[in-house]
Structure 1
Amino acid sequence: MTPAKRTAPDAVDVLLIEANHGDVRLIRELFADAGIANDIHVVYDGDAALDFLHQRGEYADAPRPDIILLDLKLPGRKSEDVLATLRDRPELGSVPVLGMTSSPTEATIARASGIDVDACIHKPLDPTEFIDIVREMNEFGVTIVRKQPLEGMSN
């Protein structure tokens, strides 16, 4: 998968690390329905995520992500490995990471085992929860680019 070109000069690069193709489609649809012009780069496992972050192989031209949405239950290489790489690289250590999990129990276990995410999001996402996610991105200093106002938010 070749990294996408920026859709807008001030668009934010979102790295979505998600194994479930249905969840990827849903997240893309939520971004589109909300009129969000950010660039979403998708990888489906931990190995591809590390290649993206290290700009290796097919990801040699990958941008540095501004925010990462990380499935906490990846197949193969674990989410913890991806996070360790992020936290060990000075240029990536400050990138906000929103961990995505299918249950509150998984979020609790993730935190207890030292998974260093900035926030946890529960899947499946619904449009109302998505607005909350956008607000969280703004709280982390990542200002999303919107083509239109997002319902329930003021500009």
Structure 2
Amino acid sequence: MPRSLNILLIEDDTIEVMKFNKVLKNLEHNHKIVEANNGEEALLLLKEQTIVPDIIVLDLNMPKITGLEFLEILKKDDILKYIPTIILTTSNNHKDLLECYRLGIAGYILKPLKYDDYVERVKKLIEYWSLNELISQ
């Protein structure tokens, strides 16, 4: 049975944050979304233990700490490294894709140009992780 997720969305683009929230608002379950504008802010949230997300949805191209830099830090932490991290990005750079998987991501999704395609991808992402057995902290 699907369950509600605690989601940490790390995205610096306000429009992208609004799109993601709109898609989740239209789903049946009440997923809780905590937003961080960049990797630095996300690391502070995670270290303070104000949130323990079930999944992290991460953009790659951000100021301060890039998505790749965030992943490197996250995967070195003995507790946080187990949180499934899914990349949601415009970067179709094969080098980025390989590096993200090398660092241990759970998935890599390209942001499509068409809104309807975006809705479908995000819905499938959330539906999958709502059914997946997750490690409890």
What TM-score range do you get, normalising by the shorter chain?
Answer: 0.7 to 0.9
Q: How does 1:6-155 map to 2 (within 5 A)?
A: 11-55=4-48, 62-103=50-91, 105-106=92-93, 108-113=94-99, 114-124=102-112, 126-138=118-130, 140-142=132-134
Sequence identity (%): 21
| Cα drift, residue 140 of structure 1 | 4.4
Query: 3-state SS of the aligned residue for 2:82?
Result: coil
RMSD: 2.1
5+ long unaligned stretches in structure 2: none
- Scaled by the length of structure 1, what TM-score is found? 0.71
Query: 3-state SS of the aligned residue for 1:85?
Result: helix
The structure that is helix-richer by fraction is 2
Judge conservation of contact 1:96–1:140 (CA < 8 Å) in 2: no
| Cα drift, residue 67 of structure 1 | 0.4
Structure 1 stretches of at least 4 aligned residues deviating more than 6 Å after TM superposition:
none
| Cα drift, residue 115 of structure 1 | 4.3
**Once the two structures are superposed, what CA deviation does each residue of 1:88-123 show, in whole Å capped at 9, x if it has no partner?**
1221111100001114x23x2213334432101111
**Number of aligned residues:** 126
Query: 3-state SS of the aligned residue for 2:46?
Result: helix
Q: Distance between the aligned counterparts of 1:11 and 1:135, measured in 2?
A: 10
5+ long unaligned stretches in structure 1: 1-9, 56-60, 143-155
The one-letter code of the counterpart of 2:109 is I
- Scaled by the length of structure 2, what TM-score is found? 0.80
